[in-house]
Amino acid sequence: MAYISPVQDLTFILSHVVNISALSETAIFAEVTPDVTEAILTEAGKLCDQQIAPLQRPGDLSPAQLRDGVVRTAPGFSDGYRAIAEGGWVGLAAPVAYGGMGLPMALNTAVNDMMAGACLSLQLCPLLSQGQIEALSHHASDDLKSLYLPKLISGAWTGTMNLTEAQAGSDVGAVQTKAVPNADGTYAVTGQKIFITWGDHDLAENICHLVLARLPDAAPGTKGISLFLVPKWLPDAEGRPGAANGVTTVSLEHKLGLHGSPTAVLQYEAATGWIVGAPGGGMAAMFTMMNNARLGVGAQGIGVAEAAYQQAAAYAVERRQGRTPFGDGPIADHADVRRMLVAMKADIFAARAIALACAVALDLAAATGADDQSARAAFLTPIAKAFGTDVGLAVSQEGVQVHGGMGVIEETGAAQFYRDVRVTTIYEGTNGIQAMDLVGRKLKDGGEAAFRLLEEVQATAEQARTSLPSLAGAVWDASESLRETTEWMVAQTDPSDRFAGAVPYLRAFARVLGAHFHLIAAKAADGTGPRAALAAAYVQRLLPEHASLLIEARAGSAGLYALDLDDLLA
């Protein structure tokens, strides 16, 4: 089955669930009316369905290759990227002053969701450029902005993120790449970076690397890290790509999935770079890009889940095997297959609503400067990233299961979704790190942002008690249990006790938020029809998971360390 962008679902969630209309009441997003939203999503959907989705299988079967020092991308990727760039999609949410459209992150997130579902390998390239645009917009000098932002926004140049080294993965403070000042105010950057997504390719005329490195005599750890912009080709006096910089592609990684996306090992040898932000402020500047990317990666997981679900559902309504309760029908009529399909669809809706709610909060914070919206977005970001990618992994795995034996036959394409999405739970901060961020940094306010969200959940449940009593009561009870566990988390003084329960706590929070958004959707549909039925299925079958998750979240760390390392190896 060909991929069909979920324009209708995205439009419904934005309009009826996460209140994108609040943006049109602000000065900077006043033109974002329902008609504009629908038009943008419709056009993006056409691009994804007609030009991007056909590249999904070719990218897997004919991956990017490094030959004689030159990276050649998969067949059709160049045309696909050109369509994205020429359509202005890279700069959808970028500053108008530098050629962007200045539209909300909520719309950008929705478009990224569709593009990821169409072809995640290709969508990674503009996503990274968008993150770099965000970082440069906030931290670069005016000269760097003037030169690089128009090029990145137009798609003529692309951007990357260079954090990881062989000895420095999640522990970014272990970075050893050096940056030595040159007499002209630039820096000579030397070191090797690994796992650099779209680190080299033939789609654009230049590639701009944001590189974490240490200045001479820099402090140890993350406090001594600075950020540098290092282009593959040095711009000449007219701002055009000129002489080659000291950046070499050593190799391309051989990966489980995402074969169409070249992931490079890059060697920097006295490469010319420009500092972005203050010396020693590299992590602050890079986190601007990473937080942008974390929401984007959550949308990637959701997009792949959508594509995997569509293929599985199409297969299930065509494949006939055994007798169903309705006679000689398709396997979709078997109760267990129906269980899988309903759970897949319900989880996709929940994850998508969480991601779009996070994006709307980011937009409201940018438009109004409201601290509560900023805190809301910060709290939702790790949930959106972790739950969105967990759903991508779970749904693509179930998609293989729905296909049965055919799911492990590569020609069906079902396994590719699973292989491609697997890394999303790892990059831009593993989902365990997202959970630790949630119970660590994001609860440093004493749980204020969390409690505000829970008050919103309970208010919605109270309003729905008359029209949807069984669903509303279950959602209210679940949110109250989550409130009690949040209070427990806030009270813990030993970080290990918080961290030991971080992952189940994040997932429980996502479960409750998912039920909250399903309940809003059911109310918007007047408690009838498929949206209300899907909400009931989520609340009855998936929400109960929160109870066991919260028990685990409060278990503390002692039991984990009762087994020492020798016991684990025995």
Nearest C-alpha neighbor of 430 from the set 495, 376, 385, 381 = 385
| C-alpha span between 41 and 272 (Å, rounded) | 40
What single-letter amino acid sits at 511? R
DSSP secondary structure letter of residue 406? G
Strand partners, 193: 266
Nearest C-alpha neighbor of 152 from the set 68, 258, 71, 239 = 239
Calculate helix-pair angle for 414-421, 282-316, nearest 10 degrees: 160
Mention every residue, 6+ apart, whose C-beta is less than 8 A from residue 143: none
Provide the 10 A C-beta neighbour count for residue 69. Answer: 8
| C-alpha span between 211 and 543 (Å, rounded) | 42
Mention every residue, 6+ apart, whose C-beta is less than 8 A from residue 522: 464, 468, 471, 531, 532, 535, 536
| C-alpha span between 508 and 503 (Å, rounded) | 9
Specify the residue for token string 């319900």: 346
Q: Are 450 and 379 in contact (CB under 8 A)?
A: yes
Let me know if 57 is exposed, middle or buried by CB neighbors in 10 A (0-12, 13-18, 19+): middle
Q: What's the token pair of residue 482?
A: 């989550």
Nearest C-alpha neighbor of 375 from the set 387, 356, 358, 350 = 358
| C-alpha span between 476 and 39 (Å, rounded) | 36
Q: Are 178 and 214 in contact (CB under 8 A)?
A: yes
Q: Is 428 a catalytic residue?
A: yes
Residue 246 parent element (H or E): none
Cα angle value 567/569/570 (rounded, 5°): 65
| Alpha carbon distances (Å) from 267 to 50, 72, 351 | 37, 19, 38
Let me know if 173 is exposed, middle or buried by CB neighbors in 10 A (0-12, 13-18, 19+): middle
| C-alpha span between 294 and 287 (Å, rounded) | 10
Provide the 10 A C-beta neighbour count for residue 160. Answer: 25
Specify the residue for token string 């968008």: 130
| C-alpha span between 20 and 104 (Å, rounded) | 9
Nearest C-alpha neighbor of 92 from the set 48, 56, 134 = 134
| C-alpha span between 152 and 159 (Å, rounded) | 7
| C-alpha span between 127 and 113 (Å, rounded) | 11
Among the options 238, 306, 428, 448, which is catalytic? 428
Q: What's the token pair of residue 355?
A: 């991601």
Q: Tell me which residues are annotated as active site.
A: 428
